Amino acid sequence: MTEYTASTALAHGLQGCPVCTSVVSAELSRCERCGETLHAGWSHSIQNAWAWLITSAVLYFPANFLPITYTRVLGKVTESTILGGVVTLWEHGDRPIAMVIFIASILVPLGKMLVLSWMCLSVQFGSRFALTQKTKLYRVTDFVGRWSMIDVFVVGILVALIQLGNVISVRPGLAAIAFAGMVVTTMLASHAFDPRLLWAEDTRNDN
């Protein structure tokens, strides 16, 4: 499928050590020079990526359905979820902000999980479809991950600023923790995923 036929290290029965850059045999599990564990990403990469993905998927539900903040105004407590906040902002006419929060807090984590799942599946099924694009998508996913924490930051700032006891105060909900956990686990998942695996099937077919 690939137009460009690469001469890969594996095709030559070799691999590079990521630490000392020495070229060693592909069969070795440890670098002969520096002792770095080789193929760690190869052996557990997909498994770990899946584990983190599933964790994040599990956390996705409490993050979105449980209240992220408890706002107490004059003794009356209001619970608000992320989606509820988006809807409220949208109804109040703050549509750009609603869009930003909706994209950053709901679409992006979901997209990340879907993209990573797709990549893991395509590795497992040995797909050779759009490898270059997939690699680019992986880079974007990896880069975007940290920005999803914006919601957690907002809650943190609100909780710190608005503390007037019974008059008005904001308390974080369980969803804030779940949401942070979800963002962290998607980041860990994208970190665990070794993009080199995307090219493994291609390499094999080249031979």
Summarize as ranges the residues that interact with another protein (CB under 8 A).
10-11, 13, 25-29, 39, 42-48, 50-52, 54-55, 58-59, 61-62, 76, 123-124, 126, 181, 185, 192, 197, 200-201, 203-204, 207
Which two structure tokens, joined as six digits, stand for 23? 């070229």
Q: At closest approach, how far in Å is the CB of 181 from another protein?
A: 8
Asked if residues 56 and 62 have their Cβ atoms less than 8 Å apart, the reply is: no
By beta-carbon proximity to another protein, the closer residue of 100 and 169 is 169
Q: At closest approach, how far in Å is the CB of 102 from another protein?
A: 24
CA 132 – CA 199 distance, rounded (Å)? 9
By beta-carbon proximity to another protein, the closer residue of 101 and 184 is 184
By beta-carbon proximity to another protein, the closer residue of 52 and 179 is 52
CA 46 – CA 123 distance, rounded (Å)? 8
Q: At closest approach, how far in Å is the CB of 136 from another protein?
A: 22
Q: At closest approach, how far in Å is the CB of 32 from another protein?
A: 12
Q: At closest approach, how far in Å is the CB of 79 from another protein?
A: 9
CA 128 – CA 164 distance, rounded (Å)? 58
Largest CA distance in the chain: 72
By beta-carbon proximity to another protein, the closer residue of 81 and 154 is 81
Q: List, in sequence order, every beta strand (DSSP E) within 10-96.
A: 14-16, 23-25, 69-73, 76-80
Classify residue 74 as left (phi > 0), alpha (psi -120 to 50) or beta. Answer: left
By beta-carbon proximity to another protein, the closer residue of 44 and 92 is 44
Q: At closest approach, how far in Å is the CB of 155 from another protein?
A: 20
By beta-carbon proximity to another protein, the closer residue of 57 and 150 is 57
* Angle (deg, nearest 10), helices 108-124 and 131-144: 140
CA 75 – CA 69 distance, rounded (Å)? 15
